[in-house]
A and B are shown apart, each in its own frame.
Chain A
């Protein structure tokens, strides 16, 4: 079969630039970038699609793309049934539980019953609090969860933190870590069957030239 292998890369956010960079490092330059749904690359075997990092796991699971570059946290949040073929090393961050610095809450055991949690990660948050035996109300928000406590929307947030700076700026402190994440190469399970040798060659290059 002569079809090109389609890779989804984050269209914005912290993973976008390093994702484009590691492809460049192994000789895959994205051509005709802006405003194109599918972009050609300098390598005739590959084409790329720009998508929200949050949607990449779903694109991959349903085979809209063969490969996707996205966070481990997002693959778990979307409960995507995909292979995570390679840890790309960048995009290190933690999914943390945070509360206002001046609140009396210092650990998850101090969380008052049915406290409200604002988060972009409702699935992972629900699972975490359920497994910890803490009853909370999860409020799904799109972005800027860190503003929720100041606005009186929620006492607690669950959000990504890499340097901790956003949390500090918003006078929030971390009381627990839910998971450590890095950026991964996700792969559609059937695409892996179809393109195994091409994909393995691609991974080999990423491992050696991607740094």
Chain B
């Protein structure tokens, strides 16, 4: 995070993400709003990446938050909105991977392992190193039930496979509840008809501490970084004030979405408005023509130089201007319209010119 010192010595920081600012606004400015609350944002955020590749410090995020509901309906709505947002951008083969922020933690807490072994296990699972995971569990005499659960969870990809995982013994009550919750979300996804593109990933842990439940990431093949993601944060908003509200949301990384679109061969069109440069020896006429064009929605520029015609045309070419027009002493006269791209000039009335360029 970028941190500075204010004049009175207080620490200021640039926002690294938008959920914390949203949570603050929810508990202060709009505390009386009926829940659930639905908010969206498009904003710049600032991160100092340690990476040698990613040199940027300012990133744009577009995101949404659904605050005040902890149901699987709310989770389903958020996931379906994430998929439809990416599809609307034009991205193909969108895929979501979902995990649970507390599942591993609660299994580890119930396992009775010491901190060092918990750490090793966490790292083996996070690295998806199946061979060393099995060796580690054998060497440490894992109870067969726990061993089986870890192997099943790390192999599981489809949400419906979760139902076959047994964490039924009483010490795993919490973990079992998380699995049931994931199955409820699966039902919601089936109703949105996106269940086929959502996968379970036990090793998925987003590096943000406030997540409490479902966490997820969106990606497309051929682009090696997640396009965005989010999760459920049921105990975060209460840190900013009196309100205790469960919430969930996601953010899309705009730059990464653009890169992914490019990687998929999508041509991003720049919609440039045609510009018209207006010159006249008669200042009042030039000003009138410029206002007339602007009123008609045309991007009109007044030639503020004393350059002659050939210099003016040369400038227009370099500056990417569509037409240079030269106006006589009165608006009633025909004007000379110079089409910069084709190099053809013609004489016509202002009205005809406007009609031609669709003003």
Contacts and interface: CB of A to CB of B under 8 A. Distances in A.
Contacts of B222: 1, 3, 194
A85 B53 contact: no
B116 to A, nearest CB: 15
Contact of B128 (A1, A3, A187, A194): A187
Given A58-B52, A58-B53, A190 B128 contact: no
Interface in A30-71: 58, 61-64, 66
A190 B260 CA distance: 12
B132 A190 contact: no
Interface in B161-203: 199, 201, 203
Contacts of A66: 224
A64 B224 contact: yes
A79 B49 CA distance: 11
B95 A79 contact: no
Nearest to A82: B127
B53 A190 contact: no
Contacts, number: 63
A190 B221 CA distance: 7
A86 interface: yes
Contacts of A87: 129, 131-132
B225 A63 contact: yes
A171 interface: no
Given A58-B51, A87-B132, A190-B226, A1 B221 contact: yes
**Which of B128, B219, B222, B225 has the most chain A CB atoms inside 10 A of its CB?**
B128
Q: For chain A, which range describes its interface: under 10, 10 to 19, 20 to 34, or 35 or more residues?
A: 20 to 34
A188 to B, nearest CB: 5
A196 interface: yes
A147 interface: no
B53 A193 contact: no
B50 interface: yes
A191 B50 CA distance: 22
Per CB-CB distance, the 7 closest pairs between chain A and chain B, nearest first, are A63-B224, A84-B127, A194-B221, A83-B128, A190-B219, A188-B224, A190-B224
6 contacts: A58-B51, A83-B127, A83-B203, A84-B127, A189-B224, A190-B223
Interface of A: 1, 3, 58, 61-64, 66, 78-79, 83-87, 187-194, 196, 203, 207
Given A61-B224, A66-B224, A190-B226, 18 more contacts: A1-B93, A58-B51, A62-B224, A62-B225, A63-B225, A83-B126, A85-B128, A85-B130, A87-B132, A187-B128, A188-B224, A189-B224, A190-B221, A190-B225, A193-B97, A193-B219, A193-B221, A203-B130
